[in-house]
Chain A
């Protein structure tokens, strides 16, 4: 704690600010799929962490058994986890849309099954995903040094956000999604198949988790329990952002930056505690989050 006011180091502080952007991008990419699923269907998907984990394992599997190059594993993970999400939505979630608390519990049951299933198939020892040598190196930007892979994560996050924005605000499908989000019955009256919209967005959200998972598999080791460490942060990003895309981007960047700044003054864990307390206070004044989606009260 004695670093609180003493020996303030400007360049170290600037590094902390840059690191915050990287942390924010990691939390944001973890939260993207969750945002879409929650924002559209109002489903709290507790299995999201396990979707991340499945993404990491599908990349690992493709790489270790079929020799697929890493950057092809990412889209492949999108497809594989997206299919898992599709099956889950058709088989379980669609029966629970009017019971939000029950979707939370049912998806927790799914997460238990997925975690144990993966443990039975792959074992509980850690796996590693290999990336080309050049991405394991660090780059120096003046006084600041960051691993190249973190920059890749940042770029992929930016790319995904741009693609989602385009999909939701510039395509016919996106307009249907927004219509269903705002008023399901009215949208249905205009001939939009809301069941199909929910199904597609759930699969899309799951697929995005798959992409994030295959990146996390490189940042960290691949374990059956790896999802749980990301999922709470991802949920906080969604809660703070209010479930909209712009909200999640703002919340991801903001919380990541604050985490890094607090961590600079105190320690990593205490920073997390401080951040959580701050979010509780924020919710006191903005219970719907920063950028809430307007929904018809039913």
Chain B
């Protein structure tokens, strides 16, 4: 029996984090199947996306159905960088698909990507900047809740169509598939190796750590207050839109990193990465895993994407039915996802104070539903 719910114990949380990432770091030691390493690295990317949704939605209360914008822009930036690594200013200054689209000169938009460092910088800066601008406009106008969700969705579909339509610059529906892996300072990142897995895992762990620190800081406390009742926080003199924009932009930055890692791992990007259904599946991962829990969201992504890869073949026709039905069940009965189930479960172990034990059924810790 515990004095308080161990789910909320800070030390226990850190121990679980260390155990979780430590155990994952040993996976390449057990298996050296190159294909599997690549696949697990993509799961790590999905984990990052779920993490960013957890920060934005679970923690900040901003339901973002357009996370694919930051992910997709980051991915396109990285793909352009990698594409330009295999071009030569003298002999072949332009990617082959441009020649097929009869573009005569390398578009200005592509010029900075000659330099790998600038390319990666742009791949991360542009999505973040977009989030800052879009977030500022929306949150200053006090657009929140479902309205923001709809607007982010509309924005996503606008980006999707514009990228799809700009065939000469983005290769349209076919997307960009850089011919060679990314090399930084002469070192080539082999996408089919343990290295890519460790790289993604390291970034995932580092971002989880940073977000955990943000959420436990004073800044994080105010963000949580905004989620609970933004009007009251505004009356206390805080700039609500500032806190919302920062959380939204940080979440977008993480998604942009995920986008970069995605292209390094799969060497491919297409408008499908900005598809509405992909952005909503990110929300589904976080929702089922538990949006209030960083680890819960990551595990949600692993579970659902893993399930899709390994069970999907068996239940090919009914997989979406199962997923949709399960998601409805979670939203209806477990608003905090599977992590919330764990929280209530651990809450049952708490030793009730003597006084409370006499006055029949005591409140179950953590069972409070938040809107």
Which chain A residues have a beta carbon within 8 Å of chain B's beta carbons? Answer: 44, 92, 95-96, 98-102, 104-106, 108-113, 115-117, 119-120, 228, 232, 235-236, 239, 267, 269-270, 272-273, 276-277, 279-281, 283-285, 287
Contact = CB atoms under 8 A, between A and B. Distances in A.
A99 B141 contact: no
Query: Chain B contact residues: over half helix, strand or loop, or mixed?
Result: helix
B175 interface: no
Contacts of A106: 327-328, 331-332
A109 B164 CA distance: 27
Contacts of A110: 324, 328
B222 interface: no
Interface string B292-332: 00000000000000000000000001101101110110011
Instruction: Name, among B164, B324, B335, the residue most crowded by chain A CB atoms within 10 Å (CB to CB).
Output: B324
A101 B149 contact: yes
Contact of A232 (B142, B147, B154): B154
A235 B151 CA distance: 9
A98 B371 CA distance: 8
A9 B296 CA distance: 59
B165 to A, nearest CB: 4
A285 B327 contact: no
Interface in B228-278: 276-277
Given A104-B63, A109-B327, 15 more contacts: A44-B146, A96-B331, A101-B145, A102-B331, A105-B287, A105-B327, A112-B321, A116-B318, A239-B151, A280-B155, A283-B138, A283-B147, A284-B141, A285-B141, A287-B143
A273 B161 CA distance: 8
B331 A276 contact: no
Nearest to A279: B154
Contact of A284 (B137, B153, B277): B137
Nearest to A38: B146
B221 interface: no
Given A100-B146, A112-B320, A112-B324, A280 B134 contact: yes
15 contacts: A95-B332, A100-B146, A101-B146, A102-B371, A105-B283, A106-B332, A109-B327, A117-B321, A120-B318, A120-B321, A232-B276, A235-B150, A269-B164, A272-B158, A273-B158
Contacts of B284: 105, 108
B151 A280 contact: yes
Contacts of A44: 146, 149-150
Given A113-B324, A120-B317, A276 B158 contact: yes
Contacts of A98: 371
B155 A99 contact: no
A105 to B, nearest CB: 5
Contact of B153 (A101, A105, A235, A277): A235
A272 B161 contact: yes
Given A105-B331, A113-B324, A232 B153 contact: yes
Contacts of B212: none
Contacts of B317: 116, 119-120
Instruction: Name, among A117, A273, A281, the residue most crowded by chain B CB atoms within 10 Å (CB to CB).
Output: A273
Contact of A104 (B149, B155, B335, B371): B149
Given A101-B63, A101-B145, A112 B331 contact: no
A269 B158 CA distance: 8
B352 interface: no
B146 A104 contact: yes
Contacts of B150: 44, 235-236, 239
B125 to A, nearest CB: 20
Interface in B39-80: 63
A133 B41 CA distance: 56
Given A104-B146, A284-B140, A232 B157 contact: yes
Nearest to B335: A102
A106 B164 CA distance: 30
B162 interface: yes
A40 B37 CA distance: 51
A195 B284 CA distance: 29
B98 interface: no
Nearest to B326: A109
Contact of B327 (A99, A108, A276): A108
B205 interface: no
